[in-house]
Amino acid sequence: MKHLKFLIIGIIFGIILSKSEVVSWYRIYEMFKFQSFHMYGVIGSAVAIGIVLVQLFKRGIIKDFQGNKINVKPKKKGFIRTFVGGSIFGLGWALAGACPGPIFVLIGHGTVSILVVLLAAILGAFIFGLLHKKLPS
Amino acid sequence: MEFILQPWPWYVAGPAIALVLFLMFYYGRAFGVSTNLETFCTIGGAGKFSDYFKTDWKARKWSLIFVLGIIIGGIISSQFLMSSNAIALNPETVKELAALGFANAGSDYLPAEIFSVANLGSLKGILILLVAGLCIGFGTRYAGGCTSGHAITGLSNLQLPSLVAVIGFFAGGLLMVWFLFPLLF
């Protein structure tokens, strides 16, 4: 299979999110209540190393598996889009205690109710697609 | 083996997530999960309703397979790699949640008060899951990314839009937990 490597990377990612309890609703609650360092440590250390990695990509010190330069695509600009969209996502992240990655991990845990969250999230993406031309960016 | 069965501390998980980011870029792809929500819409025929979904989903097969891997990772972890499902919470958190109506906080990964199957039969129970999902799907697509795309990849790439998005994630999350939870629960 051509994409086997992405299956393996996904399995690694799923195990990390599960074993580090990032998929626990309680860990997200605790983060937004500033009652534990755990989530800040996870995201903060990933970003700290990520910053170094991206610099090494940009300087061509780390190349991709074919020896090409790695480009990290810039994110779309727009204050309203990112702030309002981000806030709406934040409401859902805190309520369900799961962002998109952990939703899939919890399916693997056998959590039936998370399927409702996933279906609603797909519906939410669909509604965005219908409205996207009318939304301010 | 004993170490693997224990909960992994942040200083293991964070660098491991950075390794995942590295592997994705090394193999020529971006690290992100929420775009797949749109891909599911495209596969389901959403292109009939909006040109937004008229994309070639086959070009994103690698990402769907990545997501399939995440599910398998969840199965492997829950079946073989967990000696206990308990979460070691701050006692303050446990007390606070008890006052909100969440009994035995931290005895499992998820609170039964939100995720029990019985809850699917109550209007409030199902509405909470639906509204949360709608916000996650709509919000991540409007913002152009979720925790992996904006908070990890975008911040690593020193992107201002990602910083604004992450501030938004917290604005929404803090509003929910500090002000809406006391009304909801």
Interface probe with A: pick from B61, B117, B135, most Cβ of A within 10 Å:
B135
Whether ipTM exceeds 0.95: yes
Instruction: Confirm if B38 and B144 have CB atoms less than 8 A apart.
Output: no
Compute the nearest-CA separation of B26 from chain A (Å).
Answer: 4
Return the C-alpha torsion angle B92, B93, B98, B99, nearest 10.
70
A17 half-sphere exposure, CB direction, 13 A CA radius: 35
Give the tens place of pLDDT for each residue, B146-182.
999 999 999 999 999 999 999 999 999 999 999 999 9
- The minimal CB distance from B133 to the residues A33, A84, A96 is found for A96
In DSSP terms, A69 is beta-bridged to: A63
Task: Supply the pLDDT for residue A117.
Answer: 98
Q: How many CB atoms lie within 10 A of CB B57?
A: 18
d(CA B43, CA B54): 10
Q: What share of chain B has pLDDT > 90, as a percent? A: 97
Task: Supply the pLDDT for residue A53.
Answer: 98
Q: Which of A16, A25, A128, A71 is nearest to B29 (CA)?
A: A71
Residue that has been written with the tokens 């697509």 in this structure: B141
Mean pLDDT score, A50-58: 98
Q: Do B10 and A20 touch (CB under 8 A)?
A: yes
* Contact list, B105 vs chain A (CB under 8 Å): 26
Give the tens place of pLDDT for each residue, B38-73.
999 999 999 999 999 999 999 999 999 999 999 999
Instruction: Confirm if B120 and B113 have CB atoms less than 8 A apart.
Output: no
* Contact list, B132 vs chain A (CB under 8 Å): 91-92, 95-96, 117, 120
Give the tens place of pLDDT for each residue, A61-107.
999 999 999 999 999 999 999 999 999 999 999 999 999 999 999 99
Q: Which of A126, A98, A91, A131 is nearest to A113 (CA)?
A: A98
SS (H, E, C) chain A: CCCHHHHHHHHHHHHHHHHCCCCCHHHHHHHHCCCCCHHHHHHHHHHHHHHHHHHHHHCCCCECCCCCECCCCCCCCCHHHHHHHHHHHHHHHHHHCCCHHHHHHHHHHCCCCHHHHHHHHHHHHHHHHHHCCCCCC
The pTM of the whole model exceeds 0.95: yes
Identify the band that residue B1 occupies on the pLDDT scale cut at 50, 70 and 90. Answer: confident
- The minimal CB distance from B28 to the residues A47, A64, A111 is found for A64
In DSSP terms, A63 is beta-bridged to: A69
B164: amino acid identity, one letter:
V
Tell whether the model's pLDDT for residue A56 goes beyond 80: yes
Q: Which of residues 73-92 of B touch A (CB under 8 A)?
A: 73-78, 81-82, 87, 89-90, 92
Tell whether the model's pLDDT for residue A1 goes beyond 80: no
Instruction: Confirm if B8 and A20 have CB atoms less than 8 A apart.
Output: yes
- The minimal CB distance from B151 to the residues A27, A43, A62 is found for A43
Return the C-alpha torsion angle B6, B7, B10, B14, nearest 10.
90
Identify the band that residue A2 occupies on the pLDDT scale cut at 50, 70 and 90. Answer: confident
Nearest CA in chain A to B23: A9
Interface probe with A: pick from B3, B41, B68, B70, most Cβ of A within 10 Å:
B70
Whole-number mean pLDDT of chain B? 97
Q: Which of B121, B114, B80, B75 is nearest to B97 (CA)?
A: B114
Task: Supply the pLDDT for residue A4.
Answer: 97
Nearest CA in chain B to A127: B138
Interface probe with A: pick from B63, B138, B155, B160, most Cβ of A within 10 Å:
B138
Task: Supply the pLDDT for residue B2.
Answer: 82
Q: Do B77 and A108 touch (CB under 8 A)?
A: yes
